[in-house]
A and B are shown apart, each in its own frame.
Chain A
Amino acid sequence: MDPDLKQMLDRRAEDMRLAPDLPPVTLRRAHRRRGWSVAFASMTVLAVITGTVALVQTFGTTTTRRIGQSPTPPAPSESTPPPPVATGDYAVPAIWPETNLADIQAEQAAVDAGSDSWRTDPAAVGQRFAHDVAGWDDVAVSVSWIDPSNGLGVVHVVDRATFDTALTGAMTLDLAQVGRKGAGGVWSVEGVGPDAVIGQGIDLSCGTDPFVRGAPATLCGTLSPALAAGTTIRYALFDGDGFDVAAVDPVSFADATDQGTMVIGLHDRFQTEFAGPLDTNASLLLVEVLDSSGGVVAMLTQRIGRQRAPVIHHSLSPTTTGPEPTTAPSTGVSDGAPPAIARALWPVVTPARLDDLGQDVANGKADYALQADTTAKEFAVRMLGWPSDRVTVEGMADGIVYRGVPGVQAIVQNADLGPSTALIVDLEPATAGGRTVWLVVGVQSELFHVLCPPLHQSTLDTSSPLDVCGAVAPTAAVPAIASATVEYIESEMQPSEAQSLAAIKINGVALQGRLQFNAAYANSDVSFVVRLIGSDGTVLAMEARRLHVA
């Protein structure tokens, strides 16, 4: 077969011939593409300027700024040099309104002197960001989580004009007090995540090495299946010299290294290639979700780079179960990164159990854990009860890179369930018994997505019932019920006495329910799992996360 195949391919390939010289039309297209980028940038800047004028009219003397644009000095001068870098090679992680520590310190001084009091209010910062950047005029802002001691917070902003059950018109803002922490400190926007984006949001690591200088990189992700048809995604990549403020300060759309639009593809996924970051240290990616009329319904920013700014870290999981061992086993992660085991859902969730897994692997009892795809398949078989002979791993993609730890994403299909029903399993590597094993750190499904609690929420408040809501894909047109459970992470997703369970109603494409807690789960990690169950008891789909209860 192989020689036949090789000969056939060689023979067939010879049938394909091109004119030896570059067609003029191709060269023209290349120039046009470059010209289009400039034109697009100009139009964008014009639109932003127009919006800014309107906002100035709305807010009187308030100065409005764009992402990455530094505040304009009171009396700007063309010869005014950019402010000096205050923190060595890196500026601060803030992206709005200021991008560097000097400007933030100046703003702090202004606030201390009685100006811009809104900067000390996370909700007001979220509201102003929505006005200035997304152009949302009538918004509702809710503060989801504030950690005053570390100066971190999360707020959700909803645009009343466009918000619907698909959760367009909603975004989640990561806030940070880069300078002074606590009361009186100014808040800055550190990152933006649209609630409409599901899975791990924007996944920048589909490519082999998205940070190779000059090499094309791939941007991909998945949108809520409930989003309206005609949605498109626009992206722009900004290069920064390690976020040296001198390089970042002038950033605007006109400076985008690459930009373009994507359409939503099969399984509500999107993917495109874009020019890889020119700088090997850091870049900023801006992604906007646009409705059919071009209005921004969601927005996301992500900093990408080999090194993170040392000023502040926004942990996805600020605390982990119990005290970390003083001599933590090697988990195969890079320096400074929390071990994968601290985010694991399955098959083990604690360092001690990771050692057990290492023993099992050594004894040949858990060979599945040696490969990401087999781990994902085993998860589907054991935790969803899918028949082993009907489960296939349809594809693997590089998953989100969390603090330098490359994860992978497995697309697991149950042949009995048909298309667009895949389970999306996120996995991360860890070291057990001297060998690399794979741990499941997150699970989503193409059939539905849980929108509340939002994906970005890493903690759980068990003092009051938990509202659970979400969207079911139209393709899930099968009789089904949904349930939500919370239980100690140590249960490894198996039912336990301390399990809290609630039925979740499905009404059309909407999931809605409320979970009463049977236990406080204080100072513990828990698994939060929502299952979609068919009329015959089959688990059709699952979404699972690991959360911390303070």
Chain B
Amino acid sequence: MSEAGRLGELYRRHAGDAARLAYLVTGDRALAEDIVQEAFVRLYGRFRDLRNPDAFDAYLRRTVVNLARTHFRRRKVERRHAPPLSEEPTASEPPDLGERDELWTVLQSLPERQRTAIVLRFYEDLSEVSTAEVMGCPVGTVKSLVSRGLARLRETVPRSE
């Protein structure tokens, strides 16, 4: 199979999962789609060098998380240099029409790293060790990020009965 064909096959198999992860981390569908496309562009040409091709999803997951982080970092810089009048709202995009999910809203208001850690732990079902690997940080940091994020969610959103 050609490299392009292999890319297409990998896209069919993994892009959906990657897009869902990107969406949960960024809260922005269009941005999530862009991130996934960029991730595949970046990973193109490296397939034959993968030490463990079965671990492609792990590489992709990490790339998606890093690209999301890059996006948020760039946005912070833009904000820092933006004129005061152009101040943006905190959320990454206006809430979807009909948005009533308070938990989702609060999740999106968390700091990016806390949100990423929570998504990886509770949506991707990754262990703390795997989450740390994806985020490139110590396990203790993951514990701290998840703990703080959950605490924030708990104090803002009452537990459902």
Contact = CB atoms under 8 A, between A and B. Distances in A.
Contacts of B40: 22, 26, 30
B36 interface: yes
A365 interface: no
Contacts of A17: 16, 19
Contacts of A273: 42, 63, 66
A2 B141 contact: no
A1 B153 contact: yes
Interface residues of A, number: 53
Interface residues on B, range: 35 or more
B103 A5 contact: yes
Interface in A49-63: none
B59 A216 contact: yes
Nearest to B150: A1
Interface in A5-49: 5-6, 8-10, 12-18, 20-23, 25-27, 29-30, 33-34
Contacts of B8: 21-22, 27
B136 interface: yes
B104 A265 contact: no
A21 B24 contact: no
A371 interface: yes
A11 to B, nearest CB: 8
Contacts of B140: 371-373, 396
Contacts of A18: 15-16, 19, 33, 36
A408 B138 contact: yes
Contact of B123 (A1, A10, A27, A214): A10
Contacts of B70: 271-272
Nearest to B76: A266
Nearest to B69: A271
Main secondary structure of the interface of B (DSSP, over half): helix
A208 interface: yes
A16 B73 contact: no
B77 A396 contact: no
B141 A396 contact: yes
B137 interface: yes
Contacts of B11: 21-22, 26
A8 B136 contact: no
B37 A23 contact: yes
13 contacts: A2-B150, A4-B160, A8-B101, A12-B24, A16-B32, A17-B19, A22-B7, A22-B8, A22-B12, A26-B41, A29-B41, A33-B44, A208-B133
Interface of B: 4, 7-8, 11-12, 15-16, 19-24, 29, 32-33, 36-37, 40-46, 48-51, 59, 62-63, 66, 70, 73-74, 76-77, 80, 101, 103-104, 107, 113, 118-119, 122-123, 132-133, 136-138, 140-141, 144, 150, 153-154, 157, 159-160
